[in-house]
Structure 1
Amino acid sequence: MAVQVVRYLQDDAPAWGVVHDRRVAPLSGHWPSTADFVRGGLDAAWASTAAEATLNLDRLQLLSPVTSDRQFVCQGTNYATHVRESGMDPDAIPFNTLFTKAPSCLTSAHADVVRPAHVRLLDYEVELGLVMRRALTAPVTVEPDQLHEYLAGVTVVNDLSARDVQLPQAQFYKGKSYRGFGPTGPFLLLLSPAEWRRWPELRLRLHVNGQPRQDSYAGDMIFQPHRTLSELSALHDMQPGDLIATGTPAGCAARAPGKLVMWVMRHLLSDGAKWRLFIQKGQRNPAYLQPNDVVTASIRTDDGSLDLGEQRNRIVAP
């Protein structure tokens, strides 16, 4: 049975616990980082019982289960539905798009998120986050049934993105790394080997002010977790506790323009004019996030047996 782990603030210090039906059983170990917890706390989490749950989950100040000393690696254009809405053909995606976000952008699943003063096109992206269990320091081939050997668990990630920085400047890192642009959690869900095989059934949902925006299953991924782990192992060292955000489905605020507009922009406009037009049009799009908007994001299977919890983040002005 999957285990819901939380990291929370207790007596002004971070602590770890296991959720049992809206109650939390504190874990006695001292694990300053997610890496420390993965290396030394997994057995204690699996052994936790409901009888030890002495805290009310709803009264705790939750923290990101991934600490800011970990790497934050991301995949782009990895859901067929999102690729289509971006004006591309999923069958013509030749490679796995990989980039990083600054781990300093990690924040709580319930924290307010500041939209920087210069950002006007703030977008959302609910994503399934994979948390590393084993270090990857040399090329390996990870098979689909080996995920439990390499991954400790899964979590909810919202890859918030300043499109008016990311796209005109062609800088994914810069446009996605402002402080607070990585709400993560609330739970780090530990899975058994059998439960890992159910990852395609995980359903990703995101709402803005109660309005549905994104709703898709993880099985829509183009480059699945075992393929991404194999590829990363050949080019980039990964350590326990590191986070991989695996891409987002359709429903983002940013959309590709029509074919005629694309032709005009490509052939008749300079790059500067093209991006000025993009930003002007985007500012008329009500789907982009505004101060006081509330974003909720959740990931769970339809039967509820695998539940990563729900985020609730309010967008605020600086």
Structure 2
Amino acid sequence: MIYVTHRLNEVFRIAQRVTVFRDGANAGMFSVAETDMKRLVAAIVGPKHAALQAKANAVEGTVGPADTATCPPASAAASASNTPALNMSCVCNDRLHDVDLNVEQGEIHGLAGLIGSGRTEILQTIFGLRAVESGTIAIGGKARSQLRPADAIKLGVALVPEDRHLEGLVLDHSIERNLTLPRLPQFSRWGWLRNQAAVSQAKSAMQELSVKAPGASTPVRFLSGGNQQKVVFAKWNHPRPRLLLLDEPTVGVDVGAREEIYGVIHQAARDGTGVLVVSSDLDELLRLCNRISIVADGRTVNTVARASLANAEALHHLLQLSRSSIESREGTPHGAHHGAQAT
């Protein structure tokens, strides 16, 4: 039996031998009984990424690919200005109820919650995809009671949506065309697209984010999931956004692409961008974030420092407490929501 998977835990559970492929070539063959997760991940991500990760760890004291015990420190840019990248005050709409949220410059801030808790709706509201009924949203100190996506983009807000196929990319368009979509005025003159400038920017972005494709004219539908996701990130990379909204940023990508995406997120924070990330992977939140806010029933009910959470079980416990609190307030018996689960 040949079993292909991105879920490495499955390899150790069911396989006797494992072969790693990277960039179309055999990158290693191992006996499962004689290897471990760290060695397997190293073979998948390759020596180039491992060297970059080691350099970053030496400079910042951050953790390596297989270690989620410590998150990176917030950027020094956070202390360079007292103006937060994002401030939400008593924001309400059809899904949110008095949401208060603050994201500093250079901070990676996580949103954790149960399915249907309102995590994605918070990002959609900030980006102007959902109307604000009351309350204010301030981006870089500029307060707005209403936002449209065009307004959010002008203020320096970028969104990497949960479903890249439906919301993040035009699959039949080339890499170059997808990268120009959010900033058409930047690449246009008198109503005409400046093709040379668009191609040049696309090639630069592909090199910077290690997008593997024959060229900038390649339709994105022919790329792997990881490379498609890197194109979504690349759309917002020049100039750097003031606030980067990430909804499940590594869903459906392999471990190598995941490590590269983590590098992109960390670099954005080091450059002073405030990052707000939703993830169903609790270990991912613990690895990336400086602070994590618990979301329940369209509310931010608690915000904790990453340093106060020992492991994913501690974060999962907070999620369950938030669920119990909401059920108690609404008079719903514990466990009655059969469709709810920790994410």
TM range (shorter): under 0.3
Q: Rg larger in 1 or in 2? A: 2
> Which one has a larger percent helix, Structure 1 or Structure 2?
2
TM-score between both structures, scaled by the size of structure 1: 0.26
